[in-house]
């Protein structure tokens, strides 16, 4: 693992070979992965209303889609870290792509048998592959360059992740939801889109196999945190890692909760009264806002500290959700869509703040933070239960609480203390 020394901006990772690696080529290759898992993840927002009608599900039951998908991050993050440690970044990425491709292929028998638990199992396998990609790619991008610009660099690659999440909903609405109003939900509507995704993922395995990615040496020193912990203790000992893990948990939970309910929210007569297909197209603006925000954020973070921008965006996200909860019509609709823009820089900022200064524990901390993505499994399920009890619009109090914590983390919680608990 690289020497991630935040106290010495001039420091850089140690690579095999005597020449400095081509960071641009490596980042372009990695950016393709960010795009693909963004597209796949956002298709869940389209899959949910389709399966809800196909199997006549409640909100809570429909949210099992996100539960099984994001539960894989919790279950598989530590094994994924072991895979990356054993095989290295490049081969670890190939394993992740292969597992994700297998998950996509499982959609075919799930649809043929018309068996909801098999759909959920396919989603778990698919997300397990993406978990391996996350564990490998996020820290890899963070350390391919100066530490002080890690947030900016990760935001740039996350912007292409958002390009995938932006394209996913309208593409999914066209391929999966277009016949929902005329002929109803059909199981075969999900087969070919996921078979095509499997083909793309397996093609990427071949591309990555021949790509020339830098090989990073593992450093044994803890650099700037060396005096803060015994060498036998792990990343869990650091307060900023634990708080960042909670930050990832609530951020992903909030982002996924909002995205999961957008189609249903737009279908409410008091909001827009859209059909599922129409609502699916409008999800484009939620993820599109995140894409634009990440491109802008990559530049803004050259001048503004990551924690400050995180707190600012979280506050504005709260404001938008409160407007969406207390108004109706297009005001409520566009307010909730605007949250996507303010979400833009949050994941990458929390992630880079959480792994700052950890030296050889960077990889372990990365696994912990990716494991915290399980918030995307638990919080949408809780909001689904709440929506069944008090109504969909009022249930958005769940992401409000999440963003409130992120205001605290961005303002002060991320700071590295000169002690550990």
Buried-state track 176-202, b at ≥16 Cβ within 10 A, e below 16: bbeebeeeebebebbbebbeebbeebb
The pLDDT of residue 375 is 93
How far is Cα 262 from Cα 248, in angstroms, rounded to an integer? 21
Contact criterion met (CB below 8 Å) for 165 and 291: yes
Quote the distance between the C-alpha of residue 321 and its chain's center: 20
DSSP state of 140: H
H/E element holding 257? helix 239-267
Contact criterion met (CB below 8 Å) for 337 and 109: no
The pLDDT of residue 421 is 42
User: What domains, with CATH codes, occur in the chain?
Assistant: 23-215+228-413 (1.20.1250.20)
Query: Look-up: residue for tokens 């048998």?
Result: 113
Query: Look-up: residue for tokens 């002080």?
Result: 148
The pLDDT of residue 150 is 67
Quote the distance between the C-alpha of residue 171 and its chain's center: 19
Given a cut of 50, the residues of the chain with pLDDT beneath it are 1-21, 218, 220-232, 418-421
DSSP state of 216: B
Contact criterion met (CB below 8 Å) for 396 and 226: no
The pLDDT of residue 419 is 46
Residue 78's Cβ-count burial label (10 Å; 0-12, 13-18, 19+) is middle
Residue 113's contacts (CB-CB under 8 Å, 6 or more residues apart) are none
Of 63, 285, 101, 302, residue with least CA distance to 202: 101
The pLDDT tens digits for 130-189 are: 989 888 887 777 777 666 666 677 767 877 887 888 898 889 888 888 776 666 678 888
Residue 311's contacts (CB-CB under 8 Å, 6 or more residues apart) are 406, 407, 408, 409, 410, 411
The pLDDT tens digits for 346-395 are: 988 998 888 887 777 777 787 788 788 889 999 999 999 999 999 999 99
């Amino acid at each position: 693992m690289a020497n991630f020394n935040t106290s010495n901006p001039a420091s850089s990772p140690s690579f095999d070979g005597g020449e400095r690696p081509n960071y641009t080529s490596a980042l372009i290759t990695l950016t393709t992965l960010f795009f693909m898992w963004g597209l796949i993840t956002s298709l869940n927002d389209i899959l949910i209303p389709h399966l809800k009608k196909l199997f006549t599900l409640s909100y809570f039951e429909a949210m099992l889609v996100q539960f099984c998908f994001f539960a894989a991050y919790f279950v598989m993050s530590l094994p994924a870290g072991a895979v990356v440690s054993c095989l290295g970044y490049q081969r670890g990425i190939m394993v992740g792509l292969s597992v994700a491709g297998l998950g996509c292929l499982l959609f075919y028998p799930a649809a043929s048998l018309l068996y909801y638990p098999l759909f959920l199992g396919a989603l778990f396998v698919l997300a397990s592959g993406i978990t391996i990609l996350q564990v490998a790619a996020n820290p890899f991008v963070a350390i391919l360059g100066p530490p002080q610009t890690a947030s900016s660099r990760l935001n740039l690659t996350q912007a292409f992740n958002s390009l995938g999440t932006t394209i996913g909903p309208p593409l999914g609405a066209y391929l999966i939801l277009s016949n929902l109003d005329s002929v109803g939900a059909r199981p075969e509507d999900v087969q070919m889109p996921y078979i095509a995704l499997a083909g793309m993922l397996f093609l990427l395995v071949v591309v990555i196999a021949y790509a020339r990615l830098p090989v990073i040496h593992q450093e044994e020193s803890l650099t700037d945190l060396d005096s803060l912990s015994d060498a036998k203790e792990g990343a869990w000992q650091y307060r900023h890692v634990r708080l960042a893990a909670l930050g990832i948990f609530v951020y992903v939970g909030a982002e996924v909760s909002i995205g999961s309910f957008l189609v249903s929210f737009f279908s409410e007569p008091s909001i827009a009264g859209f059909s599922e297909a129409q609502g699916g197209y409008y999800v484009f603006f939620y993820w599109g806002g995140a894409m634009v925000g990440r491109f802008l954020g990559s530049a803004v973070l050259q001048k503004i500290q990551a924690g400050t921008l995180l707190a600012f965006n979280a506050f504005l996200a709260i404001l938008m959700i409160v407007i969406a909860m207390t108004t109706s019509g297009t005001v409520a609709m566009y307010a909730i869509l605007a949250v996507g823009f303010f979400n833009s820089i949050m994941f990458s900022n929390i992630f880079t703040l959480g792994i700052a200064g950890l030296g050889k524990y960077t990889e372990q901390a990365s696994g912990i933070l990716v494991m915290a993505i399980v918030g995307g499994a638990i919080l949408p399920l809780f909001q689904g239960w709440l929506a069944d009890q008090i109504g969909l619009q009022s249930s958005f109090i769940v992401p409000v609480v999440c963003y409130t914590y992120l205001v605290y983390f961005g303002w002060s919680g991320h700071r590295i203390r000169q002690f550990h608990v």
